[in-house]
A and B are shown apart, each in its own frame.
Chain A
Amino acid sequence: MKLLPVVIICWVVVFCSARLPGNNTTIRFKHLVGSKVLKLFDETYINSFGEPFVISKFRYYVSHISLTDNTGKQTDFPDNYYLVNEEDSLSKEIHLPIASTLREISFMIGVDSIKNISGVQTGSLDPANGMFWTWNSGYVFAKLEGQSDVSPAPAHSFSWDVGGFRQPANALRKIKLTVNKNGATEENTIIITADVLKWFNGKTPLSITKTPACHQPGTLAVQIADNYSTMFSVAP
């Protein structure tokens, strides 16, 4: 009987400590189009080609997150796959059980080859999330879809669905970001911005007029992936 209070105390301690602020690191993704905050459907943006466009979908997979703290200690999260989806504000926050101040963060945009060849997955990787190519098994790593008056595609749509896990069309990209001292706020929240305009402008400038659609692995998907791999930065 003497054991009971001890058990209860332990339980309370464990339960509360998991919820205490400061024991978690939050990564919050903020989506921008140039200097403006991304708004689906409502706003018309202009890319570097001068092409006007409206965005209806913006999604990408974040996986293999690795955090390095200011002592150089690295913590990996190889089994966590997150689908960041502009439509779902909760999906834009990732909570990880790391308390220390961070120096560096790295992650993959996309889904590693093992998960692409191991049958049907659940949770964020469930093919029902609409980020999977069924006719050529594999995940769509990132998706930017919308409309543009200059698009020659039906209904003036443009849709860039990027994926591909096999060489030479591997579109998986690793992102490495330095967290400056001010990067993390007191609640250990790191804000990472993602600028949609970078999709059009990077190693290979890509216009909606010339390439309104990407729906399979290949050269175009790799070019878009190279471009968007530069879209992230840690907000000051």
Chain B
Amino acid sequence: MKILTIICIVLFTATGIASIEAANKPRPLQLIIPPGWPKPLYNFKYNPLTKEGFELGRKLFYDERLSKDSSISCASCHQQFGAFATYDHNFSHGYNNTLTTRNAPSLQNLAWQKEFMWDGGINHLDLQPLAPLTASNEMGETLQNVIGKLNKDTAYKRLFKNAFGTAVINTKRMSMALSQFVLMLVSSNSKYDKVMRGELAFAAAEKQGYEIFKQKCSSCHKEPLFSDFSYRNNGLLLDTTLNDYGRMKITLDKRDSLKFKVPSLRNIALTFPYGHDGRFFSLQSIYEHYRNKMVVAANTDSLLLKKIPISNTETGLLTAFLRTLTDTSFLKNPQFAPPGYTITPAFIHYQ
């Protein structure tokens, strides 16, 4: 009798714990691959998306406490209303009145990229946040301190447990959560996308612009991601205050001198200024570069040896087309706003 009672108690407890565990299990989240897009390159088996992981990542992304003096979050320089680039800034503001030395890239469609930064120096999305967190001219903090701060916060302990099963907080889990948030930043609902899906039609100028784009731009800014993510020398002169040789710094190969990653043109109307050092403040200055000012030298990309002839009329048509790449539903998606907000609030605009 006694044994039976014990068995019953054990069974009840076991099933009770099991059901609590089931209730606490993170809920899977699906990354929807837009029709016609290639297969994502990120390994989701290694870091499966969950609602809890995404929410933890979003909280981390918007948390200024991750920086040395609690003044800068990831979102300070990656602003939703600017397609997660720094709006209207060539360089971004870092810890203690410092400036970065490169133009903050827009964060979108990251699951389709395998290397990060303008020079491709970072070889895994999960490793990416470690650079801005620790750079003295960005968030200026040490990883040990970041993990220490998170460990002192009971809310984070709970969120890590919800996302990963236990309350262990380490660099790997923090990075995986941040990846889960940024992986969901998919922009695939611009007017261009709607036209491609047959839901809308281009206006006449947009359509002509698209034809010119396909002739003169799309071999590097390849659809549907509007980049082939290769590194190319597009005839930029070296800025002698920055001495940024781009890809060469990573590969140590002289042939890679002044090569930078081809940026995506999605949401281009909001991601100005352009270029790795933000030297181009308008689309017009970009057209001027390719049709006139660029320097053709030994390392210049083979596609640009004759520069790109673009007439004045064509610049207007190209601009009309490029504006169709603005994805308002992405820029205003409340899921991507800070926790508890339905839109990126004014204080995030401040920096």
Q: Which residues of A contact B144 (CB under 8 A)?
A: 128, 130
Q: Which residues of A contact B46 (CB under 8 A)?
A: 119
- The docked-state distance in angstroms from the alpha carbon of A218 to that of B252 is 7
Residue of A with least CB distance to B168: A122
Does residue B249 face the partner (Cβ distance < 8 Å to A)?
yes
- The stretch among A6-14, A42-50, A72-80, A134-142 that forms the contact with chain B is A134-142
- The docked-state distance in angstroms from the alpha carbon of A136 to that of B249 is 9
Would A134 and B172 be within 8 Å (CB), given that A119-B46, A127-B143 are in contact?
Answer: no
Does residue A121 face the partner (Cβ distance < 8 Å to B)?
yes
Chain A residues bordering chain B, tally (CB within 8 A):
22
Does residue A87 face the partner (Cβ distance < 8 Å to B)?
no
B135 touching A135 by the CB < 8 A rule? yes
A126 touching B170 by the CB < 8 A rule? yes
Does residue A110 face the partner (Cβ distance < 8 Å to B)?
no
Q: Which residues of B contact A134 (CB under 8 A)?
A: 122, 127, 130-131, 133-135
A79 nearest CB across to chain B (Å): 16
Q: Give B contacts to A, CB under 8 Å.
A: 46-47, 117, 121-127, 130-131, 133-135, 142-144, 146-147, 170-172, 175-176, 249-252
Question: Could you list 8 examples of A-B contacts with CB < 8 Å?
Answer: A119-B172, A120-B124, A120-B171, A121-B172, A122-B170, A126-B171, A130-B142, A134-B122
- The docked-state distance in angstroms from the alpha carbon of A7 to that of B86 is 64
Chain B facing A: main interface SS: helix
Residue of A with least CB distance to B251: A166
Residue of B47, B122, B175, B252 near A135 (CB, 8 A) is B122
B252 touching A128 by the CB < 8 A rule? no
Q: Which residues of B contact A118 (CB under 8 A)?
A: 124
A127 touching B130 by the CB < 8 A rule? yes
Interface 1/0s, chain A 102-144, versus B by CB < 8 A? 0000000000000011111110001110101011110000000
Interface 1/0s, chain A 209-220, versus B by CB < 8 A? 000000011100
A220 nearest CB across to chain B (Å): 11
The A67-106 residues at the B interface (CB cut-off 8 A) are: none
Does residue A27 face the partner (Cβ distance < 8 Å to B)?
no
Q: Which residues of A contact B127 (CB under 8 A)?
A: 119-120, 127, 134, 137
A86 nearest CB across to chain B (Å): 18
Residue of B with least CB distance to A122: B172
Q: Which residues of B contact A127 (CB under 8 A)?
A: 127, 130, 143, 171
Known contacts A119-B124, A128-B142, A137-B127; can you find 6 more A-B pairs with CB under 8 A? A120-B175, A120-B176, A122-B172, A127-B171, A134-B130, A216-B249
- The docked-state distance in angstroms from the alpha carbon of A149 to that of B314 is 63
B124 touching A137 by the CB < 8 A rule? yes
Q: Which residues of B contact A122 (CB under 8 A)?
A: 170-172
- The docked-state distance in angstroms from the alpha carbon of A120 to that of B146 is 15
B175 touching A119 by the CB < 8 A rule? yes
- The docked-state distance in angstroms from the alpha carbon of A118 to that of B124 is 7
- The docked-state distance in angstroms from the alpha carbon of A217 to that of B127 is 18
Does residue A235 face the partner (Cβ distance < 8 Å to B)?
no
Does residue A169 face the partner (Cβ distance < 8 Å to B)?
yes
